[in-house]
Chains A and B, each alone.
Chain A
Amino acid sequence: MKLGSSLQSKLAFTLAALLLTGILFSCQNTSSAVDTAAIETKSSEESAETTEISYDPCIPAKDFDGIEFWFYFGDNDFEPSFDVRAEELNGEALNDNKAIEEKYNVTVKWERNEYGAMYNKVAQLVRAGEDAVKVMINNGNYSFSAAVNGLTQIMNDVPYIDFSKPYWNRQMLKDSTVFGKNYFAYSDINIHALGATPCVLFNKVVAENYNTGNLYDVVKSGDWTFDYVTNLIKSVTGDLDGDGKITQFDMHGFIGNTFVIDCFLSGTGYQTISKNDEDFLELNIVNEKYYDIIAAIQSICSVDNGSFICDRYSGVDREYAPMDALAEDRALFWIANFKGVERMRGMKSEFGILPIPKLDSSQKEYKIHYQANIGGAMSIPITVRDIEMVGMILEDMSYLSMVNVKPAYVDILLQGKFLRDNESLEFSRLSLTAITAITVL
């Protein structure tokens, strides 16, 4: 099966929309959030004990004669992935494949490239019939394109892979099936996706100077809405240098790039793509509800309401201008993701983490999306001959990542190095664990 290039080039939209807005999970309401956080606030050690007892796939060791097990993964320079590589981040080794290598007598290898280049490389190898790549890790767009173009195989029947286990992202699995089949999957190996989870950062010095009150209490009360945030933005934005215009160097109630628009949309819980009775994709963008949501996002992002969207202005760095403004106490809010939080670790002033606001007070829960278009989905090329080996290794590696990698990321990195208060940690932990917590609870 092959598709024309023009069609192929358009395929990505479907998955981008599906994964970015069609797959949402709830952060739960306030009370549930606290409960969830409490459950997840077990130490890494406790989690490891529990999950080892409950979820170890107990796959027998097997000798694969020293074969090189190649992961080909795509990412970008600004937000590099460390899903598979043994990564030293501030002294903490996040991912260690030695256990897998010893158990199966394989050498875990990886090749990294930019998303599109990696897709093309894998496609070239698969079309040549080469059994070189065992697993492709790429973003949602390219993983879906690979499925459509017949480059990757259905994963549901792969021996040893058990999608009912909590280390597989079951929400994503459920919402990304096509006719009941999964062509790619996210597991706890993919902390790249986890780190791309959106959040609102706020500068506590600015919050105090502008008397915003306790924003955590606002969130807990359920009043953290577009209107509430808009009023705060208006009250803060101002012309610091008196030149009669608002530039990146002035005071901002809210600064960000167009990524914030994705976040506001997912924060409403609206799904632009859902599934029909056949378990096939269905588009939901022509209706009054969607129009109203777009109007609300336009309003909260408008210049008139004091928002500064960097992409509107030539010469403004869409990635670094918001970070600079927040770090220099010239911005109250910035919407980023947890990788953005990592980048602010050197910030002098205190900052906190909040959820994406609700559309209005009638919305019951705070919503957030799994950042599939940055994070890496795993898929298996059709040219892989020893599918059992791939199943064994992916299942075991996913399990070990749940036990070791994910807790290390959440506990060590966020709690120990980046976050400044318990409320931020509570919300962050909830966001980063809800993907499984929502299905466990």
Chain B
Amino acid sequence: MTNASGIDILTKLREFVANNSTSYVSRIASIEKGYTKLLSKLHDTFLENQK
């Protein structure tokens, strides 16, 4: 699968599974925090877009 950004939830999941990572719970919380900020920006962007 092509991944345009090189960073996404599925990429992280692939890393967790392929590397058999046991620290995914703490890392997911960190990822979620960053993406929540991004979603907030997207929210404002689309609102502005649709005016």
Which A residues have a C-beta under 8 Å from some C-beta of B?
1, 3, 7, 9-14, 16-17, 20-21, 76, 115-116, 119, 139, 141-142, 145, 147-148, 150, 154, 178-179, 181, 258-259, 261-262, 265, 272-273, 280-283, 285-286, 290-291, 294, 297-298, 301-303, 309, 311-312, 371, 373-374
Interface core residue of B8, B17, B39 (most chain A CB under 10 Å): B17
> Which of chain B's residues have a CB closer than 8 A to the CB of A115?
2, 4
- Residue in B18, B32, B46 whose beta carbon sits within 8 Å of that of A261 in the complex: B18
Given A261-B14, A290-B28, A298-B20, are A148 and B7 also a contact pair (CB < 8 Å)?
no
Q: Which residues of B, 1-19, contact A by the 8 Å Cβ criterion?
A: 1-5, 7-11, 13-14, 16-18
Given A291-B24, A297-B17, are A374 and B9 also a contact pair (CB < 8 Å)?
no
- Residue in A17, A179, A286 whose beta carbon sits within 8 Å of that of B28 in the complex: A286
Residue contact A17 to B46, C-beta cutoff 8 Å? no
Residue contact B24 to A294, C-beta cutoff 8 Å? yes
Given A16-B9, A281-B42, A285-B9, are A298 and B17 also a contact pair (CB < 8 Å)?
yes
Chain A proximity of B2: nearest CB distance (Å): 6
- Residue in B7, B16, B24, B32 whose beta carbon sits within 8 Å of that of A283 in the complex: B32
Residue contact B5 to A141, C-beta cutoff 8 Å? yes
Residue contact B18 to A148, C-beta cutoff 8 Å? no
| Complex Cα–Cα for A139 and B8 (A) | 15
Residue contact A373 to B32, C-beta cutoff 8 Å? no
| Complex Cα–Cα for A83 and B14 (A) | 29
| Complex Cα–Cα for A423 and B31 (A) | 42
Chain A proximity of B12: nearest CB distance (Å): 9
Number of A-B contacts (CB under 8 A): 131
Residue contact B4 to A142, C-beta cutoff 8 Å? yes
Residue of B at shortest CB range from A115? B2
> Which of chain B's residues have a CB closer than 8 A to the CB of A286?
28-29, 32
Q: Which residues of B, 27-45, contact A by the 8 Å Cβ criterion?
A: 28-29, 31-32, 35-36, 38-39, 41-43, 45
> Which of chain A's residues have a CB closer than 8 A to the CB of B4?
12, 16, 115-116, 119, 139, 141-142, 145
Given A12-B3, A374-B2, are A285 and B17 also a contact pair (CB < 8 Å)?
no
> Which of chain A's residues have a CB closer than 8 A to the CB of B8?
12-14, 16-17
| Complex Cα–Cα for A178 and B1 (A) | 24
Chain A proximity of B16: nearest CB distance (Å): 6
Given A272-B9, A286-B29, A302-B20, are A148 and B42 also a contact pair (CB < 8 Å)?
yes
| Complex Cα–Cα for A283 and B18 (A) | 23
Given A286-B29, A290-B28, are A261 and B5 also a contact pair (CB < 8 Å)?
no
Residue contact A285 to B28, C-beta cutoff 8 Å? yes
Residue of A at shortest CB range from B14? A258
Residue contact B48 to A1, C-beta cutoff 8 Å? yes
> Which of chain B's residues have a CB closer than 8 A to the CB of A1?
45, 48-49
Ordered by A's residue number, 24 sampled pairs between the chains whose C-beta atoms are within 8 Å are: A3-B41, A9-B5, A11-B5, A12-B4, A14-B42, A16-B8, A20-B10, A119-B4, A141-B3, A141-B5, A147-B46, A261-B10, A261-B17, A262-B14, A265-B10, A280-B39, A281-B42, A283-B32, A285-B28, A286-B32, A291-B24, A291-B25, A309-B17, A311-B14
Interface core residue of B4, B7, B35, B50 (most chain A CB under 10 Å): B4
- Residue in B2, B28, B42 whose beta carbon sits within 8 Å of that of A139 in the complex: B2
> Which of chain B's residues have a CB closer than 8 A to the CB of A11?
5, 38, 42
